[in-house]
Amino acid sequence: MNRTERVALSEPVADEIRKTTCYMCACRCGINVHIKDGRIRYIEGNRDHPVNKGVLCAKGSAGIMQHYAPARLRAPLKRVGPRGSGKFEEISWEEALEIATGWLDGVRQDDPKKLAFFTGRDQSQSLTGFWAQQYGTPNYAAHGGFCSVNMAAAGIMTIGGAFWEFGAPDWDRTKLFVLFGVAEDHDSNPIKMGIAKLKQNGARFVSVNPVRTGYSAVADNWIGIRPGTDGLLILAIVHELLKARRIDVDYLVRYSNATWLVIDAPGTAEHGLFARDGEGKPLVFESVTEQVVAAGSKGARATLSGRVQLADGRFAVPSFQLLAEKYLDPKYAPEAVAAETGVAADTIRGLAAEIARVAFDEAITIEQPWTDVHGQHHQGFVGRPVSFHAMRGLSAHSNGFQTARALHMLQVLIGAVDCPGGFRFEPPYPKPVSAHPTPHGRAEHFGSNKPLSGPHLGFPRGPEDLLVDAEGRPARIDKAFSWDAPFSVHGLMHMVIANAHAGDPYPVDVLFLYMANMAWNSSMNTAGVIRMLEDKDPESGEYKIPKIIYSDAYASEMVAYADLVLPDTTYLERHDCISLLDRPISEPDAVQDAIRWPVIEPDRNVRGFQSVLIDLGARLRLPGFADNHGKPLYKDYADYIVRHERRPGIGPLAGFRGLKGDRAGRGATNPEQLQRYIENGSFFSTHIPLEAQFFKHANQAYQDFGVRMGFFDTPQPVTFQLYQESLQKFRLSAEGVREPLAPETHRQRILETFDPLPDWYRPLGEAMVDGHTFPYHAITQRPAAMYHSWGSMNAWLRQIHTSNALYVPGSICERLDLADGDWVWLISHHSRIKVPVARMEAVNSSTVWTWNAIGKREGAWGLDRNVPEAQKSFLMNHLIHELLPPRQDGLRWSNSDPITGQAAWYDLRVRIEKADKGVVSEPHFPGIAEPDGERPSPMELRYGQEWEQ
């Protein structure tokens, strides 16, 4: 018998392939969804897609189970039981929208700030932000504040862009790649593909990370650093590079503010600020004519050191002199930082040596003539093939902003920003801070029944741009852009519930959340947050946060705390737009955006949140959503994506614009636009001309290209801000010499942390607790198979990570006589949790860690009540308070970066005590009811059995 006859080798896979964009995490890979008999047969990566080029991760491949998960919500819900009980009744969409409109309309008339609208895992911030602005509440942000705002803010303020959505290593050319901290979180497939390229090209890959898992596991060198000390390590490298004179002086002079003169007039309102001419242009000292001239003057040869007298008689020095003096200080020598960082001096010196060697001895040149924005011609692009990447690992510390600044400074010092082999910007970045708006939300920016006068989020240029009242009190519910966190450019979502509950700075009436699991793993102090959501005003008997509207596709823990639930679709049932106005997916060589479209029709009474928001906007008669007669402007989100224009010719999508669909960037709206995207694999990509591909911050061809594409209306070159003037303005306010003055309570803290040059200070959470009582660091990361995925209840993914253990270094295990499976109390200054442990050697010896967000609340996510996720698994969140321990004056700071308000998840300090054997981790919460009735929990899944050959 011929065996092969038994095997059907050439069966067509499916009836049809529909190409859309993945949403199982934040990468936004292109996917081919194979449809067979109206069901999903298979999801694979789209080979033509620029983000993932055909590959797909575990999450993307588990999309089928996400789509068909029993945890999906089925209809709009109105709460009937007490909050947290999970008891709801199904209502019609009409009723749900009427309720929401009633609540929101009242607030908009009375006091629009009493709506707090925050979106979690949002990929449509250009819509949600626009909606909030038209509504007129000052209280809007997405989840960046508890995610990676330090990275974004520091990057944009220093070099005009940051990692991930703003830029990427030049994977093809880099010869040394240094990865700081956990980075499996963002850009996961591109980084994996990049690491593969490094390995193929024989490049060296160094990982600096307390835990050696994931990418760190394959690094050529692993530096198991003590959490929160990366900034110090970077500054020690800078020290070594300066000392060895291995810096790119030419690059610094051309592209950074190293030559800009800093006024040296202590005690005055301008001390430490840049000396400027009458037009506000910064000044430099020209060495040939020995004159002070405006930066960028043609032919000027600016100095990098030396004290200069200005025309007004004051003295000034180039900012680079301050920089060099600061970092040449022996306190940054490798030997001096070895104990604090836990990294041997020779390792630091070796890393510095490798960075220098590769940057300068292995420099590469791409022969491609180009012209810089000063009109100077260059024969080629000189590349320093050293690249860096970092994300939450650096971000989620209270010194993360300064650390990220330090990293960008290091890149600039060796001339490795946007050069061949270095870190490269992705359009529409870089953009200087001056091209970003300032924040809006002060009392004069909003009022009854009118839009906010400008965008909520932006970059303050100094204390004058803060959103505070005359007494310095915060204007926003999350206290963003206040003296607490002046550069909180993504808001502070993690403080919203606590502040609203406390009525500080004021109570809110409606809390409107989208895809943010604030009653569980997205909040610090989860138990406390749950109490706040359940807490009632003893007099009125009303909840302290009276009305909560929540939109989610799944029965997450947060659903149980909503009063009104707007059920969202799965990612395969919806329209979406990954827009250049929002969070771009461009590559260094190409401008890109993408869409999602319903490749499967919903089989439940659910609607895409964005369409619902647009509907609500029209019902509320918001400008931009309804015309003068109250007629809706848009049918749904798809219609909005095509027809909305932010500026003339600029809409959510850059591709296939114009009546013929042949315009990119700017162009008239095209009714066929979505169809053209779908035909093109649901994305659009246009290449940057070769002469415009590098040094974009100062490349005339790129700047012209950017104007053509509509990134900006005039060229916006970036001068790298090593010395950060806006931080110095805050210090002057804190010194009491410059208006507006900082409140007394904040002065010391600002002076200690707002150094205009990248600095390192011990993380606040660590500095405020006793190191002997809490000797260890406790950190978390999500596993690669679940990172950023909305719902680890996925039937396939949950088999990989059904429960989590606390990983404890071998040395600690021996001291405490701990073996795998033993239980411990993990204790912080705030709380304690009882958890199972597992031993690990490949981890920093003072650090324990676990996989995050495996733990679920009993009854949530459509899982059985006795699942390990709800019994044995645990969250570290319980140990982390949203506030730091009280100071002597009784005040408590938010547990955030003092500059950006970034949630300092990784500052946690703990001690461990051996506990009795356990079965259920502690704390354990009472189960919640399933929101829309008991879900079928199949005993067995045989997905695809109908297609057995």
Partner 1 sequence: MHPASSIIVFTVLSGLGYGLAAFLGLGLLDPSAFATKVAYISALVLIAGGLLSSTLHLGNPRRAWRAFSQWRSSWLSREGVLSVLVFVPLAMSAWLCAMEGRYSAPIGIAGSLLSLATVFCTSMIYASLKSVQAWHTRLTSACYLLFSLAGGALLGSAFGVAGSGSASPLSFFALVLLISAWTVKIAWLRHLDSLKPLSTPESATGLGAVGRVRLFERPHVTENYLTSEMGFRVARKHAAKLRKFALLLGGLLPGALVFLVLAALLAGAEAGGAAILALMAASLSHIIGMLAERWLFFAEARHAVMNYYGG
Partner 2 sequence: MTSLPALPTPKKLGLVIDLDVCVGCHACVVNCKEWNTGGYGAALSDQHPYGADVSGAWLNRVHSFEVVPEGGEIVGEAGEARIVHFPKSCLHCEDAPCVTVCPTGASYKRTEDGIVLVDEEKCIGCGLCAWSCPYGAREMDLAAGVMKKCTLCIDRIYNETLEELDRQPACVRTCPANARHFGDLGDPSSVVSMMVAARGGIDLMPEQGTRPVNKYLPPRPRKPLAASAGQMPKGEDTSGATGFFAWLDGMLDRI
Site residues, partner 1 (CB under 8 A): 799-803, 840, 868
Q: Which is nearer to partner 2, 1 or 80 (CB)?
A: 1
Residue number with CB closer to partner 2 (345 or 816): 345
Instruction: Give the integer Cα–Cα distance in Å for 85 and 599.
Output: 35
Given its phi and psi angles, is residue 472 left (phi above 0), alpha (psi -120 to 50 degrees) or beta?
left
Burial zone of 456 (CB within 10 Å; 0-12 exposed, 13-18 middle, 19+ buried): buried
Residues in region 320-379 near partner 2 by CB under 8 A: 321, 324-325, 328-330, 343-347, 349-354, 356-357
Residue 269 binding target from partner 2, partner 1, none, CB below 5 to 8 Å by type:
none
**6, 298, 631, 917: which one binds partner 2 (CB under 8 A):** 6
In this complex, which beta carbon is closest to partner 2, that of residue 709 or of residue 784? Answer: 784
Out of partner 2, partner 1, none, which partner does residue 803 contact, by CB within 5 to 8 A per kind? partner 1
Residue 38 binds partner 2, judged by CB under 8 A: no
Q: Is the dihedral of CA 889, 892, 896, 898 positive or negative?
A: negative
Q: And the tokens for 225? A: 């650093």
Judged by CB under 8 A, the stretch of 86-94, 139-147, 214-222, 566-574 that binds partner 2 is 214-222
Binding range to partner 2, per CB under 8 A, among 276-284, 506-514, 550-558, 937-945: 937-945
Q: Figure out which of the listed residues 577, 768, 784, 827 binds partner 2, where binding follows CB under 8 A.
A: 784
- Orientation of helix 334-341 relative to helix 345-356, angle to 10°: 120
What part of residues 290-319 is at the interface with partner 2 (CB under 8 A)? 301, 303-306
Footprint on residues 260-289 left by partner 2 (CB under 8 A): 287
Strands of 301-376 (E only): list them: 308-309, 315-318, 364-366, 370-371
Task: Please name the helix (run of DSSP H) or strand (run of DSSP E) that holds residue 393, with its range, or none.
Answer: helix 392-395
Q: Look at residue 647 and give the partner it binds from partner 2, partner 1, none, a contact being a CB closer than 5 to 8 Å depending on partner kind.
A: none
**Assigned token pair, 656:** 């296939």
Q: What are phi and psi of 467, to 5 degrees?
A: -95, 75
User: What, of partner 1, partner 2, none, does residue 353 touch, CB below 5 to 8 Å by kind?
Assistant: partner 2
Report the nearest approach of partner 1 to the CB of residue 193 (Å).
23
Q: Tell me the closest approach of the beta carbon of residue 781 to partner 1, in angstroms.
A: 13
Q: Which is nearer to partner 2, 478 or 759 (CB)?
A: 759
Find the shortest distance in angstroms from Cβ 204 to partner 2.
8
665 binds, among partner 2, partner 1, none (CB under 5 to 8 A by kind): none
For partner 2, give the closer residue by CB, 309 or 799.
799
Name which of 148 and 188 has its Cβ closer to partner 2: 188
Cis peptide before 330 (omega within 30 of 0): no
Distance from C-alpha of 507 to C-alpha of 111, rounded to nearest angstrom: 11
535 is a site residue for partner 2 (CB under 8 A): no
Closer CB to partner 1, 3 or 245, in the complex? 3
Classify residue 257 as left (phi > 0), alpha (psi -120 to 50) or beta: alpha
Nearer to partner 1, 638 or 863 (CB): 863
Distance, in Å, from the CA atom of 565 to the CA atom of 584, rounded to the nearest integer, reads 29
Q: In the complex, what is the shortest distance from the CB of residue 507 to partner 1, in angstroms, rounded to a whole number?
A: 43
In the complex, the smallest distance separating the C-beta of residue 396 from partner 1, rounded to whole angstroms, is 23
Q: Which of partner 2, partner 1, none binds 727 (CB below 5-8 Å, type-dependent)?
A: none
CB of 774 to partner 2, least distance (A): 25
The site partner of 80 among partner 2, partner 1, none (C-beta below 5 to 8 Å per kind) is none
Instruction: Report the Cα 385 to chain-centroid distance in Å.
Output: 26
Given a contact cutoff of 8 angstroms between Cβ atoms, the answer to whether 442 and 475 are in contact is yes
The partner in contact with residue 818, picked from partner 1, partner 2, none with C-beta cut-offs of 5 to 8 angstroms by kind, is none
Select 70 or 927, whichever has its Cβ closest to partner 2: 70
Distance of CA 453 to the CA centre of its chain: 26
Q: Which of residues 62-81 bind partner 2 (CB under 8 A)?
A: 62, 64, 70
Residue 869 and residue 920: Cα distance in Å, rounded? Answer: 10
User: Helix, strand or coil for residue 913?
Assistant: strand
Cα 666–Cα 669–Cα 670 angle in degrees, nearest 5: 115
Least distance from partner 1 to the Cβ atom of residue 212, Å: 10
214 vs 901 by CB, closer to partner 2: 214
Q: How far is the CB of 779 from partner 1 (least distance, A)?
A: 17
- 133: left (phi > 0), else alpha (psi -120 to 50), else beta? alpha
- Per-residue DSSP letters for 775-840? -EEEEEE--TTTTT-S-TT-TTHHHH-S---EEEEHHHHHHHT--TT-EEEEE-SS-EEEEEEEEE
Counting contacts by CB under 8 A, is residue 56 touching partner 2?
Answer: yes
Write phi, then psi, for 822 (nearest 5 degrees). -70, 165
Smaller CB separation from partner 1, 440 or 801: 801
| Residue number, 332 or 851, with CB nearest to partner 1 | 851
Between vectors from CA 22 to CA 127 and to CA 643, what angle results, nearest 5°? 30
Segment 424 to 453, residues that bind partner 2, using CB under 8 A? none
The reply to whether 913 sits near partner 2 by the rule CB under 8 A is: no
- Phi (first) and psi of residue 119, to 5 degrees: -115, 140
Nearer to partner 1, 706 or 791 (CB): 791
- Considering only residues 865 to 884 of the shown chain, the ones binding partner 2 according to CB under 8 A are 866-868, 871
Select the binding partner of residue 137 from partner 2, partner 1, none (C-beta < 5 to 8 A, by kind). Answer: none
To partner 2, the closest distance from the beta carbon of 821 in angstroms equals 16
Q: Which of 761, 15, 810 is nearest to 397 (CA)?
A: 761
Between residues 793 and 912, which has the closer beta carbon with respect to partner 2?
Answer: 793
Nearer to partner 2, 253 or 642 (CB): 253
| Terminal CA-CA length for the chain | 19
Nearer to partner 1, 715 or 868 (CB): 868
Closest among 130, 123, 716 to 440, alpha carbons compared:
130
d(CA 831, CA 624): 47
Stretch that binds partner 2, among 42-50, 121-129, 434-442, 760-768 (CB under 8 A): 42-50
Q: Strand 16-21 and strand 77-79: pairing? A: unpaired
For 445-500, give the DSSP string: G-BTTB--SS-S----SSGGG--B-TTS-BSSTT-TTSTTSTT-TT--HHHHHHHH
User: How far is Cα 673 from Cα 654, in angstroms, rounded to an integer?
Assistant: 10
**Nearest Cα to 551, choosing from 599, 602, 527, 517?**
517
Report how far residue 846's alpha carbon sits from residue 842's, in angstroms, rounded to the nearest whole number: 12
Q: Which of residues 216-255 bind partner 2 (CB under 8 A)?
A: 216-218, 220-224, 240, 242-245, 249-250, 253
Closest approach, Cβ 52 to partner 1, in A, equals 24
Number of residues this chain uses to bind partner 2 (CB under 8 A): 116
The stretch among 140-148, 424-432, 445-453, 834-842 that binds partner 2 (CB under 8 A) is: 834-842
Q: Is 609 in the site for partner 2 (CB under 8 A)?
A: no
526's contact among partner 1, partner 2, none, with CB below 5 to 8 A by partner kind, is none
For the bound state, the minimum distance from the C-beta of residue 798 to partner 1, rounded and expressed in Å, comes to 9
Segment interacting with partner 2 (CB under 8 A) among 54-62, 89-97, 437-445, 681-689: 54-62
Q: Does 941 bind partner 2 (CB under 8 A)?
A: yes
Cβ partners under 8 Å of residue 541, min gap 6: none
Nearer Cβ to partner 1, position 212 or 254? Answer: 212
